Amino acid sequence: MQAVEDLSLEVAAGQVYGFLGPNGAGKTTTIRMLLDLIRPDQGDVFLFGQHIRRERTVLRRVGSLVEGASFYDFLTGRRNLEVLALTSNLDLPAAQFDAVLDLVDMREASRRRVRGYSTGMKQRLGIAAAMLADPDLVILDEPANGLDPYGINEVRALARRLVDEFGKTVFLSSHQLGEVEQVCDRVAIIHHGRLLREGSVAELVSEKSRLRIEAEPVEQTLAVLARRGATVTEDGTALLIEAKRTEVPLIVEELVHHGIRVYAVSAQRQSLENYFLSVTKGQDERVG
Amino acid sequence: MWASLLGAEWCKIMGNRRATFSMIGIFPALAILATVVGLLMAGLSSSFRSALQEDPALWTEAAILPWLVPNNPLGRALLLGFAAVLFAGEYQWNTWKSIVPRTRRLPLLLVKFVTVAAFVVLAFTLTSILLTLGLGLVAWVAGAPFGPPLSSAVLCDFAEDYGLQVFYAFLSTMIAAGMVALVAMLTRSILASALVSIVIAIGETLLIVPLYLLAALLRTDGILHLYRVLPGYNLLNFFTWLAGETPEGLEMPSGELIIDGELFSAVVLVIWMIGLISLSAYLFNRQDI
């Protein structure tokens, strides 16, 4: 089985781009390939339109935090950043270290050894490390993993600030859909290594909405909706069906045409989580 | 770029004080300790003073003494441990993923070999200087000579011996580092890399037993020639020549005695060094991180 297959994503500059998928979908594999940490068995990886192996310098435009922040815990936070700068052959002024440490509110703590840091502090230092070379693209792979709600909130706000204040593009991989929904401009959903959907959060969640219909007689309404092929569930006096927003007028028209009295039709906004579950589950059923 | 990479390795090694001191810094520390103990004994014990006057220490031997460490099992184990921290540390601390996207892999790996060699040479040179000065001080306190007197002949001989010992220590360290680098890629753990490398280093010298039995069983000496190209045999052979002795040689089941020369062993060791470094570089370049 291929971990990732023919995946092409277009991430516009100046956005937080969410990269979603269930565990094992190929998110981290994709990111690792983008960063040349693993090599694809077949094919090539392009970033900013450049082959990452042939045009190695393209990776200098990328900062990354992959699967949790890892540091030399016997060094201070600041020293870790200095080592990273040396490894990257970057001759950075002290002000640059201060700036990225200030960004994540770690200037004071960076004087201490990483050994004593909490997970949240390490993640923040990881984001500082990703920003060290002033990259165009910041890849954050599950940056909220292992964090408490405050930490998650901080990381979410930080991802947004990188775009809004610093003009960066953030590629955020996560399975915390609430987080993604709140912070991302666009999202891609992958499953079994394939791109299932891609679009803005608003587009995706409105792609399939749940309609709540109050109409009488109920039996006749059920029959009309069943003829349309809709799966109907009853919710007290109302009927619930899944339908696209564009189908709503047609459904109402058809019900009225059959002499059904329509009292109310309302679209229940679907959460990204529901949408995600419906598309990935649908894919699983097709694969199964 | 190389200076920058070396600077990063320097920061890591100096920051990891406990590991660095216990495996490398311990040698100069032992030289200082030996000096202090020697001074105390020279000051307090008349029998020590007279023993030193009767059988005086030689600065030519004192300077070379630290370079014999790589041939000592404990010394070799410490060097393997030091190399394991350098090579396997990045896997164990999960830090390769932060470094690899920023720089090409080949320099990242090669700089570790350079660092191991540089640190070992630096540590032993420092130990050598400290031990020579220390023993000179002990001899002066004890009123004993500390020869041989300086002359161009003595200095030439010393330079040749010293250079060969440094070369030997360098080869030994680099072969150990090459072995550790390969094991580190598989185990991704500092402790496992150190232990497996020590087992390999010891096991390799013990290979003589099964090879000899096999050669005797098959009535062919050919198999035993395999042993002649292993690093352990050649390190010992090279070292024996360096010590001014003739090696015992390798006796074949047919009764033939093979004594390999200094040059043979040096060439084999250089080939091993290049081979191990090249193989580890090739594998690291293709490895998933």
The confidence score (pLDDT) of residue A272 equals: 76
Q: Could you tell me which chain A residue has the CA closest to the CA of B102?
A: A88
The Cα–Cα gap between B39 and A125 comes to 50
B14 to chain A: closest CA residue? A75
- Is A45:A29 a contact under the CB 8 Å cutoff? no
User: Min CA distance, B102 vs chain A (Å)?
Assistant: 5
- Alpha-carbon distance B242 to B265, whole Å? 11
Upstream peptide bond of A249 is cis (omega within 30 degrees of 0): no
- Reported for A281-287, long-range contacts at CB under 8 A and 24+ positions apart, including other chains, are A283/A191, A283/A192, A283/A196, A284/A191, A287/A192
Q: Using an 8 Å Cβ cutoff, are A81 and A100 in contact?
A: yes
The reply to whether residue A67 touches residue B97, judged by beta carbons under 8 angstroms, is yes
Mean pLDDT of all residues in A266-283: 73
pLDDT of A287 strictly over 70? no
Neighbouring CB atoms inside 10 A of B166's CB total 17
Assigned token pair, B7: 């600077």
**Above 70 in pLDDT, residue A141?**
yes
Q: Which of A6-10, A18-22, B5-9, B177-181 has the lowest mean pLDDT?
A: A6-10
Predicted complex ipTM = 0.85
pLDDT tens for each residue of A58-88: 898 999 999 889 999 999 999 999 999 999 8
Backbone dihedral angles phi then psi of residue B160, each to the nearest 5 degrees: -65, -45
- Grouping H, G, I as helix, E, B as strand and the rest as coil, residue B64 is helix
Are residues A38 and B8, on separate chains, in Cβ contact within 8 Å?
Answer: no
Residues A202, A182: Cα–Cα separation, whole Å: 11
pLDDT digits (tens, 9 = 90+) for A109-118: 999 999 999 9
Minimum distance, in Å, between the CA of residue A44 and any CA atom of chain B? 15
Separation of alpha carbons B24 and B30, rounded Å: 11
Q: Which of A59, A83, A91 sits opposite B101 (nearest CB)?
A: A59
Q: Tokens in use for B77?
A: 């184990």
Of B15, B94, B103, the CB nearest to A87: B103
Nearest residue in A to B4, CA atom: A86
DSSP string, B166-192: HHHHHHHHHHHHHHHHHHHHHH--HHH
| The pair of three-digit structure tokens given for residue B235, joined into one six-digit string | 């390190």
If you write DSSP's letter for every residue of A58-118 in order, what string do you get?
Answer: GGGGEEEE-SS----TTSBHHHHHHHHHHHTT----HHHHHHHHHHTT-TTGGGSBGGG--
Question: Do the Cβ atoms of A36 and B101 come within 8 Å?
Answer: yes
Choose from A38, A53, A80, A86 for mutation: most chain B CBs within 10 A. A86
Taking residues A266-285, report their average pLDDT: 72
Asked if residue A149 has a cis previous peptide bond (ω within 30° of 0), the answer is no
**Partners of residue B17 in chain A, C-beta under 8 Å:** 74
At A109 the pLDDT is 93
Contacts of A146 in chain B (CB under 8 A): none
Categorise residue A271: left if φ over 0, alpha if ψ from -120 to 50, beta otherwise: beta
The answer to whether residues A52 and A209 touch, using CB atoms and an 8 Å cutoff, is: no
The pLDDT assigned to A83 comes to: 95
Per-residue pLDDT, A55: 86
Strands (E), chain A: 16-20, 46-47, 50-51, 62-65, 137-141, 169-174, 186-191, 194-200, 209-216, 232-235, 238-243, 261-268
Give yes or no for residue A9 having a pLDDT over 70.
Answer: yes
The CA distance from B243 to B262, in Å, is 11
Contacts of A147 (CB under 8 A, 6+ apart): A119, A120, A123, A154, A155
Instruction: For residue A148, report the phi and psi dihedrals to the nearest 5 degrees.
Output: -80, 170
Average pLDDT (A137-148) is 88
Verify whether the Cβ–Cβ distance B15 to A60 is below 8 Å.
no
pLDDT tens by residue, A240-253: 887 777 788 888 99
Q: Taking an 8 Å Cβ-Cβ cutoff, which residues of chain A contact chain B?
A: 32, 35-39, 56, 59-60, 62, 64, 66-68, 70-75, 79, 82-84, 86-89, 91, 129, 133
Contacts of A129 in chain B (CB under 8 A): 98
Q: Range with the lowest mean pLDDT among A71-75, A95-99, A138-142, A194-198? A: A194-198
Residues of chain B with Cβ-Cβ distance to A62 below 8 Å are 101
The DSSP element (H or E) to which B257 belongs, if any, is strand B257-258
Give residue A285's pLDDT: 57
Q: pLDDT per residue over A214-238, tens digit each? A: 998 988 998 888 888 777 888 777 8
Closest CA to B232 of B214, B252, B206: B206
- Give me the count of residues in chain B: 289
Distance (Å, whole) CA A82 – CA A89: 10
Q: Is the pLDDT of residue A288 over 50?
A: no
Percentage of the residues of chain A whose pLDDT score is greater than 70: 95
- A19 forms bridges with which residues in the sheet? A173, A188
> Is B109 within 8 Å of B100 (Cβ atoms)?
no
DSSP E strands in A137-179: the ranges are 137-141, 169-174
Contacts of B95 in chain A (CB under 8 A): 70-72
Name the residue in chain A with its Cα closest to that of B89. A72
CA distance A27 to chain B (A): 15
* Residues of chain B under the 70 pLDDT cut: none
Q: Per-residue confidence at A269, pLDDT binned at 50, 70, 90?
A: low
